[in-house]
Structure 1
Amino acid sequence: MKLFVSSLVFAGLVLMAGSGAAYADEPDVAAERQVTLDQTLEWTMQNQQGAVYRILISKPEGEVPYSGGYPVIYVLDGNAYFASLHEAKRAQEQFRQAIIVGIAYPGEAPHNFLRRSYDLSPPVAEEHNTPPQGGQDELLDFIEQSLMPAIAERFPVDANHQSLYGHSFGGMFAIYALFTRPELFNHIVAASPSLWWNNSYLLKHERDFSQQVEAGEVNAIHHSLSLVVADNDSLQNQQDASQLYQRLEDLSAYGLRSSFHKVEGEDHMSVPFVLESRVLKQLLGTRGG
């Protein structure tokens, strides 16, 4: 995969001691070229509505695990968060067998405001639909019906170890996925989720999910939700996430593991960039513990 950034590679002239001559294999001028992330792939896909996505793949390294397939982490806002997660994975040998799938948008912007506002949000009344919102089920359909099969065609995948990571609106979307399609992902990490959005619309889905788990209609065993906030997040963001964690604690009796963590010294936009190792440990170190 090639990132849309460039780097000046200053080879310079390496002088031989006492002679002033350059090594023959050293270029004598600076060369400019695109940076390439090793062990990555990229392709584009369209959803049923014709919207285009960049799919960024951090390839697994090493033998296929005993389960018969590699664990997979799907990352929302892949333009912003894929590269740092990929490099954190490769730098730590115990995580290299994982596949990381960045769900990204065309272009260079870290965050595509219009696309993510639609993809990661619930429908709203027409008078509030600026920017356009309401595409959360379209994105889940794309992930379930198109993207996951495409990954499974290319790599052996552990169907029982698939995770979703999102930040802000992405965290909100990841929790929506847990509540409405719990069979899709085993483990969720939601960083600074926007639980206040649209009059806390997720509360209804939370109640439905809890009732289904308690009634035995949803098997929560081997499922986990990790909630992370920054200590400089808004007070509402912090309280909403903490209270959600407290409410879901009762579902531990049915197998759902949940956790809450506050990161000191960070704010809403900085917190994802100090979470890479924590996310990998949560989702891979103890099978989503």
Structure 2
Amino acid sequence: MRTLLAWLGTLLLANLAHANPVALDGTEQWTMHSAEGREYRIMVSLPEGDVPWTGGYPVIYLLDGNAYFPALHAAKRAQDRLRGSILVAIGYPSDTPLDFERRAFDLSPPQPAERNTPPQGGQDLFLDFIEKRLMPQVNARFKVDQDQRSLVGHSFGGMFGVYALFTRPQLFQHVVAISPSLWWRDRYLMEPERAFTQKAHAGKLDLTHSSLTLLIGDREMPQEIQDARALQMRLQALSQYGLRSDFQVEPGEDHMSIPFRVSARVLDELISTRRF
């Protein structure tokens, strides 16, 4: 009897080892490659219901999809008003929630050679992938409201979202930066911020329907909270050109817990935003 139980236990473990991964209802997954051959795992939370009166579904692009897609997908499907949207998460062919080497390259500015380990500096190539490869694929697959494109990123991803706003403001109408690493490389974002601000004052940018939301936990480093608050205060001057900026502190949350705490609020804010 003991031998039989041991054999059955071994058989059960073997079957579990070869079990298929859990599939989330209402989703699909693609594999895509950048122009340079880097592979990406694209996870899509499908829209539900009729196409909105605007003629297309709002679309939200999410960075670090391996880590954050399940939580945002669940939050989207839990409320009827959020289901009529598309969530496109960009991840990597990895079994880990955060692929530190890949995201270090995709989400960061160039580094001096002596500090370039792991390799960094691919943020413009990554933006090219999103703009020239991923977005056309999403547009071909779904009816998309081109006036309701948003980007959500956490930590390095939040830093990348701010960079995207400053350097390609036409790409996303709304950016949510959760705990953005504004301190990275001696606050390198200050330079593109100055260029962005100068273009706005010169009338060279259309910011009428643009927004940036900065979210941070109150248990994060005081300097990180201060940096995010200071950025939002500086950007308030651009409200005269239409840019809406917001700064929110989440009580009781730290750097790694806050993305999961604010999932439903982020989706609700982005999907409820109206252009007209």
Offset of 1:98 from its aligned partner? 0.6
Which of 15, 35, 59 is the aligned partner of 2:22? 35
Aligned to 1:189: 176
The number of aligned residues is 259
Q: 1:127 aligns with which of 114, 122, 143?
A: 114
Q: Which moved more, 1:34-43 or 1:222-231?
A: 34-43
> Is 1:91 matched up with 2:78?
yes
Q: Of 185, 189, 194, which residue of structure 2 is paired with 1:202?
A: 189
Separation in 2, partners of 1:33, 1:128: 41
Tell me the equivalent position of 1:277. 264
Q: Highest CA radius of gyration, 1 or 2?
A: 1
* Structure 2 match to 1:149: 136
Distance in 2 (alpha carbons) for counterparts of 1:132 and 1:287: 40
**1:172 and 2:159 aligned:** yes
Q: 2:253 pairs with 263, 266, 272, which one?
A: 266
Question: Alignment partner for residue 52 of structure 2, among 59, 65, 68?
Answer: 65
User: What TM-score, normalized by structure 2, do the two folds share?
Assistant: 0.92
How far apart, in 1, do the equivalents of 2:134 and 2:90 lie? 9
How big is the alpha-carbon RMSD for the aligned residues of Structure 1 and Structure 2? 1.3
- Give the drift of 1:235: 1.2
Which residue does 2:9 correspond to in 1?
none
Is the aligned partner of 1:115 residue 2:102?
yes
Q: Distance between the aligned counterparts of 1:92 and 1:247, measured in 2?
A: 35
Q: What are the Cα deviations for residues 130-162 of structure 1, in whole angstroms up to 9, with x where unaligned?
A: 111000000000000000000001000111100
How many Å apart are 1:33 and its aligned residue?
Answer: 5.0
Deviation at 1:282, TM superposition (A): 1.8
Q: Deviations over 1:83-141 (max 9, x none)?
A: 11011001110010110000000021000000000000000110110111000000000
Q: Secondary structure at the match of 2:223?
A: helix
Q: Which residue of structure 2 aligns with residue 14 of structure 1?
A: none
One-letter identity of the residue aligned with 1:184: L
Q: Point out the structure with the larger helix share.
A: 2
Q: Distance in 2 between matches of 1:33 and 1:51?
A: 25
Alignment counterpart, residue 49 of structure 1, candidates 26, 29, 36: 36
- Give SS of 2:35's match: coil
**TM-score, normalised via structure 1 length:** 0.88
Q: Which residue of 2 aligns with 1:17?
A: none
- Measured in 1, the distance between the counterparts of 2:143 and 2:186 equals 41
Deviations along 1:58-82, one digit per CA (max 9) or x if unpaired, are: 0000000111111000000000001
- For the pair 1:223 / 2:183, whether they are aligned, the reply is no
| Structure 1 residue 287, shift from structure 2 partner | 3.5
Separation in structure 2 between the aligned mates of residue 33 and residue 142 of structure 1, nearest angstrom: 30
Deviation at 1:286, TM superposition (A): 2.6
Measure, in 2, the Cα distance between the counterparts of 1:285 and 1:140.
26
In 2, Cα distance between the equivalents of 1:34 and 1:248? 44
- What's the offset of the Cα at 1:183? 0.3
1:138 correspondence with 2:125: yes
Deviations, residues 149-189 of structure 1 (Å, cap 9, x unaligned): 00001000111100000000000000000000000000000
Q: Structure 2: which amino acid aligns with 1:227? A: L
Matched residue SS, 2:21: strand
1:102 aligns with 2:89: yes
1:81 to 68, 71, 86: 68
Shift of 1:34: 3.2
Q: Structure 1 vs Structure 2: percent identity of aligned residues?
A: 56
Q: What secondary structure sits across from 1:259 in the alignment?
A: strand
The residue type equivalent to 2:237 in the other structure is: D
Residue 175 of structure 1 aligns to a residue in which SS?
Answer: helix
Equivalent position amino acid for 2:165 in 1? L
Give 1:68's aligned amino acid: G
